[in-house]
Structure 1
Amino acid sequence: MLRDYQPADADAIVRVALAAFAEFEQHYSDWPLFTANVAKMPQLAKAGEIIVAEDGGEIVGAVAYVGAQAPKPEFFDPAWPVIRMLVVDPCARGKGVGRQLTEECLRRAERDRSPVIALHTTQIMTVALPMYLRMGFAKVSDAPDILGVPYAVYVKALA
């Protein structure tokens, strides 16, 4: 079940985000700094809409949808809505949670009448990146590395 974020969800989404990224620890040059930034995920609610996924009353995933013209990193076109921080608890993987969260972001971009939606990710995300490609996202540019990990910007045209 998907629903909008409530402030009381903050601790749960931070727990899910940290668990989701834990497998990538060896890739980042400063893991404590990276996890400190991941733990700021609830702050994305200030600039965008956080969507949470629940299973049996437990939060198992979350994503931020940041609309066009809202503050976002400078490597994104300011007119693009973007998908930020898609996270799924490792115990809930393989159930389509990530796809459902992404599809909800696509619906919100269509609601906002945006012709495109963007995100940034990295090759080390061996589940997320292929999912985005299957869903029609295409690489448009490189993005700045994050603590030694190369990232790129991907865009999907909307109907």
Structure 2
Amino acid sequence: MLRDYQPADADAIVRVALAAFAEFEQHYSDWLLFTAHVAKMPELSKTGEIIVAEDGGRIVGAVAYVGPQAPKPAFFDPSWPIIRMLVVDPATRGKGIGRQLTEECLRRAERDQSSVIALHTTPIMTVALPMYLRMGFAKVRDAPDILGVPYAVYVKSLG
């Protein structure tokens, strides 16, 4: 079940986010700094909409949808809505939760009458990146590395 984030969800989404990124520890040059940023995921609710996925009353995934014109990193076109921090609990992967969360972001971009939606990711994310490509996202440019890990911007046309 997908629903909108509530402040009481903060600890649970941080737990899921840290668990989701744990497998990538060896790739980042400063893991403590990286996880400090991951743990700030609830703050995305200030500029965007966090969507949570629940299974049996337990939060198993989350994503932030940041609408057009909302503040976002400079490597994105300011008019684009973006998907940030898609995280799924490793124990519940393979159930389509990441796809459901992404599709909800696409619905919100269409609600906002956007012609495109964007995200940034990295080739080390060997589950997420192929899913995005299957869903019609295409690389448009490189983004700044994050602690030694290469990232790129991907865009999907809507409508």
**In structure 1, distance between residues paired with 2:43 and 2:129:** 24
- Residue 37 of structure 1 is matched in structure 2 by 37
- Residue 85 of structure 1 is matched in structure 2 by 85
Map Cα deviations across residues 113-137 of structure 1 (whole Å, 9 max, x no partner): 0000000000000000000000000
Map Cα deviations across residues 68-106 of structure 1 (whole Å, 9 max, x no partner): 000000000000000000000000100000000000000
> Aligned ranges for residues 8-157 of structure 1 at < 5 Å?
8-157=8-157
Using the TM superposition, give the Cα deviation of residue 52 of structure 1 relative to its aligned residue in structure 2, in angstroms. 0.0
Q: TM-score, normalised by structure 1?
A: 1.00
Structure 2 unaligned blocks of 5 or more: none
- Report SS of the residue matched to 2:109: helix
Q: TM-score, normalised by structure 2?
A: 1.00
Equivalent residue letter for 2:33: L
- Report SS of the residue matched to 2:114: coil
Equivalent residue letter for 1:85: M
Percent identity, aligned pairs only, is 88
Using the TM superposition, give the Cα deviation of residue 24 of structure 1 relative to its aligned residue in structure 2, in angstroms. 0.1
Structure 1 unaligned blocks of 5 or more: none
Q: Which runs of 4+ in 1 moved over 2 A?
A: none
- Report SS of the residue matched to 1:100: helix
**In structure 1, distance between residues paired with 2:145 and 2:111:** 32
**In structure 2, distance between residues paired with 1:100 and 1:50:** 13
Using the TM superposition, give the Cα deviation of residue 67 of structure 1 relative to its aligned residue in structure 2, in angstroms. 0.2
Compute the RMSD of aligned alpha carbons: 0.2
